[in-house]
Each structure stands twice: as structure tokens, then as C-alpha cells.
Amino acid sequence: MRGLTATDPARVGGYRLLRRLGEGGMGVVYLASGPGGGLVALKLIRAEYADESGFRRRFRREAELAASLTGRWMTPVIAADPSAPEPWLATAYVPAPSLAEVLASRGTLPPGTVRVLGARLAEALADVHAAGLVHRDVKPANVLLALDGPRLIDFGIARATDAAPLTTTGVIVGSPGYLSPEQARAGEVGPASDVFSLGCVMAHASGGRRPFGEGTPAGVLYRTVHEEPDLDGVPESLLGLVRACLDKDPRARPDARRVRGQLEGSPDPGGDWPPPGLSRLVAERSARVLDLRLPEPTRLDGAPSAGGPAGSGGASATARSARRVGGPTRRRLLRGVLAPAGAAVLTGLLVRDRAGSGDPLPRRVIGLHADLSGPTAGEGRAQENGARIAVEEHNGRRDRPFDLALLVRDDGGDGAGAAGVAGRFVADGSVAAVIGPTSDGAAEAAVPVYDEAGLPVVAVSVATTAVSSRDHDTFFRLRFDEGGHALGAIAYLTRVEPRSRVAVIEDGAASAAIRGTGGSLLHAPPSGGTVTVHPVRADVEDFTAVVADALAGEPEAVVLATDSPERAARCARALHEADFSGPRVTTEAVMGSAAFPTGAGEAAEGWVFTTSFVDPAEHPGAEGFATAYRERFAAAGVPPYAAEAYDAVHFLARGLEGAGTAEDPGHALRRGLWSASHEGITRTIAFHPEHRSLLPGSAHFFHVMENGRPRYGGPLPVATD
């Protein structure tokens, strides 16, 4: 559990929020207290999802279906409000550790305990499937280990089997390592997908490791689709059933009722529960809940807070709320002493007072324009998460001149939607600047709207050359555009693995900017050597001939100028078959899709990708952010552009400080941003005075494909002259 942040509401519906239990996916989960003092886990859906066509109707239907589930091994839905500005759903709170926590601390569970675990989860899934739902995210983190048995939780991405999902078709939904092959392909899923996930959970719980390994999502997804599971360590008594659950063909898997029946065939199916040490963990968790002190509601009218006289201590209502004066303890609440309901509360950003002054800080609003439900939703959500960490960090500074608030809007990855979102941000006079959009197409539609209104927009993932800072005074790109991959290739083959004879295979299907890579290398050959360029037509699927032509000159390295993972995989196979083992360099667009390692197989090994983002866990100076991200969002790693969005927030905050009280703050902000030099955790943000592109030398990085997953290699020393 974590404390509430400054941007968390005090109440949702009739529930007072107490602590954060977790965050991710579609919203935040809170520990909350109901009117009668009972505790619930309340999931608050992010407001941007409410803008999606049909979302509320589907959410209402699926909440009603989930509420109809009364199985013993599920947490019942207590209340929901699909019509609220931020839809929410509350379930009974279970003070128990997750299976993920237990496995992290002890490695495995005894075979008899795994049989009980699997049988009861299969019973829960059978009830879910009978109600017409598919859970879609069965994993150890979504299994609570109560003293009387496990509980399957978090139906945040569950959907009716005959309904459109809450997420977009073609987007992978679920958790790599536990999702099914059909989920990994972003295809349609049914009850058999949950059975596959259950097999992964049982394999991990009994064998001590995930059946498809660790690492980047792309590598795990590839192994899930193409390789057999690693079931070493799974006891013989469970091996046959687990293997059947993990069949690649969903039609060959047993259904949940059959899984339950096989597991309950042991002489004493309830005799190995609870697991060793669980009683102590549950007691500790319960004690922490009992010791919670409820925050007082933030009052707007100066009225007395619950349990204290009016004007107590002479402090203002704002100052009292900022200090979070302690209210009645949970033990008192359990004895029936409740705070009066109906007090006016301040939701959204909590405006704090200056230390000792009593004056509230002004507020500056940064918009986040992102794809949160379309084809680039993963990047959009990463940017949102990174920005939220930066906002909270800024608001925790005692010397800050203002508070920041983040206003998030989803364009669905669609150009028309992006223009609409930009129009809404422009019409909102409180927004000082915007971070985003996520995708190239969205930027092409939205940047002209922002530019016409004079609203600064800072992009961290936009690579298209169709919009540029030279044409749009308000557009700040914090990465190189797609034509900048050539500089990365030159730097790699000059400074990292020096090679003087380089062949460029130029894909006719790539964008014009990427097709220009060959010309850039001819103009500035790596290591001062020689370069040959070998084009391949867009309609050619077999790269054997162009590879043979390129290798005829005995190059020491090959640069592939393409933005297609599928075509890159074909080229990689052709080079592999020709026994070429020198450096092979291509673009981040190839790395960003599982299609490359999936299509290339072992031929993908060793490929180098010039990239615009870092892995903060491995990048000097960014390790603290990586730790904060993993803890905040319960993530195994930090996805691309999260740390870059964090830098964007601090870059804007510095610009807003510099703009101060200028007569034209918008003009002052733009002028300050163009002339600024900000040392971020990922790069130095400073712009060329004429070209208005990032100064070279700080925004190029590289990754290397190792064991089916990209590994961060570090920054590329791009020449600055």
C-alpha cells in the first residue's frame, strides 16, 4: 500500500479513499471505506476512457455481469458507477498477500498446495466462463492468498465473450509470461485463453519460474507463440495437466471444469492449505489496515473537521488539509465511530500552502495528449506514467513556485481524434503546454492546431518529418526524426564497432526519410571508409538477391534502411543464410515490434537498433526513476518513452518558472524553451538556434538483440560538428 498523492480525490461515490493499492492498465485501485465502515478495493477508471464510443455501455454491462458472480473464490462486486466522470467499481477488500508476493519471497509452493490453488482458481474461472465472461489477465499478481483459499481478483480487462472488448482490436491485452498464444497475436480470445494462463500460474507456483522465461515483452511473446514451455521443476503429479493447459491450440486444452475435476482427484484436496507462513503474512497485513488513520476531508467552507472544533489551532482549512490532520483510527471505525458524511471536499489536485505562509500556491496545468486505447497505447500509457511521476516529484519540492496538474486526454491513435483532442486542449484556457501526441499520424493532425493557437507542444516519441519545428514555432521534438537514424548508424560504425566498408540495403517500401540513409552514409562514411548502396523494390519479398549483391563487395557491416519489422526479418534471414556475421544495423521501428524476432528467429541475434529512448535501469543517472517506476506501477521494467516523458515535464516546469509573470506568458514560455538547456535524466534538452532540432550528441542510443530480446547498449556518440 502507498499513501494518497496530491492528485488523488478524497472520495469516490460514497467511499472515502484511504490508500493506493496499485496502479496500471485502465486506472488506479484504492483501499476505501464505505458509509458503514466496511473496506473495499475501489478501481477508478481513467477519465479518458469515458470519451470512447460505447465505453460506458460496455462497462455497465460487464460490471453487471461481474456483480452476478458469487463464487466463493472471487471477490464480489459491491458497487459500481459507469455514469461517473471517472467510472468506478468496488469489490470486497481481502487483506491477504498476492501469489506474486509469496512466490517472490519463497520461490515455490508445495505440490499439494498448488493442487488446491489450481482447483479453486479453476472453479472460479468455470463460474466466470458460465456467466459469459473471459478474465484475460490470470496471473500471480491477480491471485490473493487468503487463509481459507485463493481469491481471483481484478476484472479490469475482463469482457463478455459476445461483446467488443474495452480495449482496441489488434492490441495485446494481458501480461506477457501468462497470456495465451492467441492473446500474444492480439487475436480473439475465449475461455481457453484463461485456462492457458492458469497453466502458467500453476507452472510458476510449482516449478519456481515462468514457463516462457523472463525478459522483454517481445521475447516472452515470441517464446509463448513459437516455443515449448520450460516445465523443469514442475512435479510429475502436475506435469501432464499443466502441459495440457499450455497446448498452443486452444481447442486442445481442457476446460476449467475439467481442470478442477482432475486437481480435486487427490485424496485430500483441502489438506494442503494454507501454505506455510501464510497466517503470519495475513496477520501482518490485517494489522497494517487496522492501524490506518483516515485523512480528514478537505473542507472548502472553513467548517470544523470531523472530531475537531471550528478554528482549532487557528489554522486555515487549506493549511489543516495540507497537514492531513489524523482522524479516527480504523479500530474506532470498526467500533462504529464514523465521521459525518456530506462534507464538501476538494477533488483533483490538492493545492498546498507555502511553508509557513498560509498562501496557496498557483497551479499550472500541463496537458498530456496520448494514444491510450489505440495501436500505440503502450507508448502512450508509458508517457502518462512517466509524466505522473514527474508531476508528483515537482509537487513535493518545498521551494516550488507553483503546483503542477496533469490533464490527460486520449486520441485513440486516430488522426481525426488527435485533431479533436488538440482542439479541446486549445479551448481550455488553463492549459499552459501539452506533451504528446504519441504517434506520427496523430502529430500530423494535431501539431498544426496547436501551432495556430500558439500552444507549446512537446513530443517525445514523434518521428515523422511531415511536421517540423522550422515550420511550427510551438512544436518541440525531444528526439531525432526518422531521418536521424543515419547519424546513429554512422556513430555506431565509427565509435562503437568501427568498420570502414559498409553496405546499405535500402528498402523501397520505407519512408522517404529512411530511404535517405544511404545518401547520408555516402556523404559521411563511417570510419572515413567506403559505402555502397543497394536498393530493393517495395514489391520484392525475397531479399536473397539484394543481399548477394550487397555482400559481393565484401562489406564489414550492413545497414538496413527500413521501417518494416516483417521486411527486416526477411533480410535478416537472408544475411544469416549467407553466413554474414558482421555488424548489422537498422532502425528502432524494427525493434519496436515482436514481428522481427518472431519472423527472423535465430537470425535476429546480434542486430543493432539505433534508438531514441533509453532503458533507465541501465542508463547512468536514470536508475532512481527506474526504481520509482517499477514500485509505483508494479512493473517488471520501464517501457520506452516513460523516462523521456518525465524529462519533458521537468523541461516544461523549468520553462514555466522562467516565464514567470510576463505580460505574454505564452510567448515568454516558447522563447524560453527554445533557448533553454535542460539536463534531464535521459539527455540534454537544447535546440539548434537555426534548425530548431535537438543539438546532436545527446539523443541517439542503441539496443542490441540478445537471446530474442533487445538489450540497451547505451548512448551513441554522434558527432556535433
**In which band, very low, low, confident or very high, does the pLDDT at 319 lie, cut at 50, 70 and 90?**
very low
- Residues β-bridged to residue 459: 477
- State the amino acid at position 368 in one-letter form: L
Residue 670 lies in a domain: yes
Residue 321 lies in a domain: no
Q: What would the pLDDT profile of 687-706 be if each residue is shown by its tens digit?
A: 988 888 888 778 899 999 99
Residue 502 lies in a domain: yes
Q: What would the pLDDT profile of 177-208 be if each residue is shown by its tens digit?
A: 899 999 888 778 899 999 999 999 999 999 99
Closest to 611 measured CA to CA, from 712, 467, 512: 712
Domain with residue 214: its CATH number is 1.10.510.10
Q: Are residues 117 and 246 in the same domain?
A: yes
> Of the residues 240, 262, 278, which one is the last residue of a structural domain?
278
Report the number of distinct structural domains present in the chain: 4
> Of the residues 74, 92, 110, which one is the last residue of a structural domain?
92
Q: What would the pLDDT profile of 137-167 be if each residue is shown by its tens digit?
A: 899 989 999 888 999 987 644 444 444 344 4
What is the rounded distance in angstroms from the CA atom of residue 299 to the CA atom of residue 318?
7
Residue 603 lies in a domain: yes
Determine the pLDDT at residue 185: 82
Lowest mean pLDDT among 132-136, 383-387, 422-426: 132-136
Residue 285 lies in a domain: no
Q: What would the pLDDT profile of 1-39 be if each residue is shown by its tens digit?
A: 788 887 888 899 889 999 998 876 578 899 998 876 788
Q: Are residues 517 and 563 in the same domain?
A: yes
Q: Are residues 36 and 81 in the same domain?
A: yes
Mean pLDDT for 583-596 is 93
Mean pLDDT for 668-694 is 92
Residues 6+ apart with CB under 8 A from 601: 226, 573
CA angle 30, 410, 510 (to 5 degrees): 130
Q: Are residues 399 and 412 in the same domain?
A: yes
DSSP secondary structure of 194-245: HHHHHHHHHHHHHHSS-TT-SS-HHHHHHHHHHS----TT--HHHHHHHHHH
DSSP secondary structure of 264-309: TTSS-TTTT-SPTTHHHHHHHHHHHHHT-EEEPPPPSS-PPPTTS-
Domain with residue 588: its CATH number is 3.40.50.2300
Q: What would the pLDDT profile of 257-289 be if each residue is shown by its tens digit?
A: 999 999 987 554 445 788 888 877 777 777 666
For residue 302, pLDDT beyond 50: no
Q: Are residues 117 and 240 in the same domain?
A: yes
> Of the residues 225, 245, 278, which one is the last residue of a structural domain?
278
For residue 566, pLDDT beyond 90: yes
Bond preceding residue 437 cis, omega within 30 of 0: yes
The DSSP output letter for 322 is: H
- State the amino acid at position 394 in one-letter form: H
Q: Which of 8, 51, 137, 563 is catalytic?
A: 137
Determine the pLDDT at residue 174: 52
For residue 580, pLDDT beyond 90: yes
Q: Are residues 194 and 269 in the same domain?
A: yes
Range of the domain at 68: 11-92
Mean pLDDT for 347-371 is 63
Mean pLDDT for 631-635 is 83
For residue 308, pLDDT beyond 50: no
Alpha-carbon distances of 510 from 106, 274, 487, 535, rounded to whole Å: 50, 58, 17, 11
Domain with residue 81: its CATH number is 3.30.200.20
In contact, 703 and 596? CB cutoff 8 Å: no
Residue 347 lies in a domain: no
User: What predicted TM-score, i.e. pTM, was given to this entire model?
Assistant: 0.57
Q: Are residues 377 and 452 in the same domain?
A: yes
Q: Binding residue per annotation — 248?
A: no
137 is catalytic: yes
Determine the pLDDT at residue 307: 32
More confident of the two residues 315 and 111? 111
Residue 698 lies in a domain: no
Q: Are residues 88 and 105 in the same domain?
A: no
Tell me how far the alpha carbon of residue 653 is from its chain's centroid. Answer: 23
Lowest mean pLDDT among 19-28, 56-65, 81-90, 291-300: 291-300
Mean pLDDT for 664-680 is 91
Residue 288 lies in a domain: no
- Cell numbers placing 439: 504517434
For residue 314, pLDDT beyond 50: no
Compute the mean pLDDT over every residue in the chain, rounded to the nearest whole number: 83
In contact, 531 and 500? CB cutoff 8 Å: no
Q: Is beta strand 501-507 parallel, antiparallel or unpaired with respect to 431-435?
A: unpaired
Determine the pLDDT at residue 328: 33
For residue 342, pLDDT beyond 50: no
Q: Are residues 647 and 563 in the same domain?
A: no
**In which band, very low, low, confident or very high, does the pLDDT at 343 lie, cut at 50, 70 and 90?**
very low
Q: Are residues 220 and 264 in the same domain?
A: yes
What are the φ/ψ torsions at residue 532 (nearest 5 degrees)? Answer: -120, 145
Q: Are residues 571 and 634 in the same domain?
A: no
SS3 609: strand
Alpha-carbon distances of 45 from 6, 48, 376, 630, rounded to whole Å: 18, 9, 19, 21
- Cell numbers placing 157: 480487462
Determine the pLDDT at residue 53: 62
Q: Are residues 494 and 605 in the same domain?
A: yes
